[in-house]
Amino acid sequence: MIIERLRAGWVELRRYPSALMGLGIIAGLLMLALYTVIAIPYPQALEAWRGGEAWRMHPVNAEPLWLDRLKGGDAPSTLIIEHDAEEVEETMFTGGRRLRIPLAFDFGYADFPGEMNLFLRAEDHAEAPFARLSWLTPDGRDISLGGHRLQPRHRVSISQDRELTRRLGGLAPHIGLFADPASDAVPEVLPGRYRLVLDVVVFDEQADIDATLVVYGRVHGIAGTDHQRRELSLALMWGTPVALAFGLIAAVGTTLTTLVIAAMGVWYRGWVDALIQRLTEVNMILPLLPILVMVGTLYSTSIWLMLGVVVVLGIFSAGIKTYRAMLLPIREAPYIEAARAYGASDMRIVLRYMIPRILPVLIPTFVTLIPTFVFLEASLAVLGLGDPVLPTWGKVLNDAQTQSALYNGYTYWVVAPALLLMLTGLGFAMLGFAMDRVFNPRLRNL
């Protein structure tokens, strides 16, 4: 039956390189989607995309690593220097201890880091400990980074230290601290081993101090990071199953409901048909996007609600007119009359004898319909009506837009999601057009 027709179609389809390429792209996207949902479980992805403390060790607005290297750069990656208990020197005094914690690392990049933070933990201390920080450069200079009374969870934003900036001659600390004093106007990196030494006075016999220095890079991973330090790869990856699912469900939902309703109208004729026609005409002049914007603004931007609205508004879409025109002659086919004569029910005739007849013709339209819904979802997100919690391509674009990514030179932030959207469109369009030629023989000679 239809399977047979599809099999024959497939054999013919394989002769179209564009179809194979489209299939390849779609297969790639599907694999990415599958990998994503397995590797990063949904709740974990939502949790992570909410942002916050979990990302504090990631750089802000870092470029993808490969992109920098491709451009011949040598921007640093993020260095995380944990304190090593072995190296801590400890001296006791009455009522407390004196700790000397060295945090040493080698820095050999040609480019300066993007930022520098020191994270300290001083939990369970009876009285807040006091820490004095000093910065030792490879050439033996000792620069004081000031003293801090430590909270249980303490962050020293070294690169925000204005006083230090002034002392470094106007250079931001994460540049000034790494600059070669010999370099003139344009600061250059002094490569070598750097040391941040913490001299801590602890007013407690046992309680410990935990120190982590983060020298943020300017590049990160394969997709870079956004203004909230989140890895863009998370949204780009999770955007794939979301986009495919949205596109597929919306396309299936609208096509099937439209088809069944068109077939009902054709079969029952009379007022049923007339009602469907009128509803379609009314629906055709209702603009989809503004309605979605309205629902999103006034109600909720949940992706499921949007999907529901898209499908509901799609039920009485213009497709009904096309399907109706295709189904009308089928209604009069002798085999339909034969089916009535042997007692087939109306439902059976509509679903088993009328719809399957035009299904092969619809498959290409259906395939090309998928990306239009993917784009619709992305457009909504760009308009700020994306799902509030889901990481999607559209949300990435929306963030990039609100953060003026292009103006700030974060091209990768816009290009990656746009490329994925284009790839999706391309894959389905190439397959759909090739299918159209195979399944709609009238087009074959065009």
Alpha carbons 196 and 103: distance in angstroms, whole number = 5
The residue length of the chain stands at 446
Q: What is the DSSP string of 270-314?
A: HHHHHHHHHHHHHHHTS-HHHHHHHHHHHT---HHHHHHHHHHHH
Nearer to another protein, 5 or 195 (CB): 5
Alpha carbons 105 and 193: distance in angstroms, whole number = 6
Q: What does DSSP assign to residue 381?
A: I
Taking residue 397's Cβ as centre, other Cβ atoms within 10 Å add up to 24
Which distant-in-sequence residues (6+ apart) come within 8 Å of 196 by Cβ? 81, 102, 103, 104, 118, 133, 134, 135, 136, 145, 213
Alpha carbons 137 and 189: distance in angstroms, whole number = 11
The residues that touch another protein, with contacts defined as CB under 8 A, are 1-2, 4-5, 274, 333-335, 337-345, 348, 353, 356-357
3-class secondary structure, 120: strand
CA pseudo-torsion sign 291, 292, 293, 294: positive
Cα 76 to chain centroid distance, Å, stands at 24
Nearer to another protein, 305 or 344 (CB): 344
Alpha carbons 242 and 239: distance in angstroms, whole number = 5
Alpha carbons 256 and 359: distance in angstroms, whole number = 10
Query: Do 394 and 246 meet the contact criterion of CB atoms below 8 Å apart?
Result: no
Nearer to another protein, 215 or 262 (CB): 262
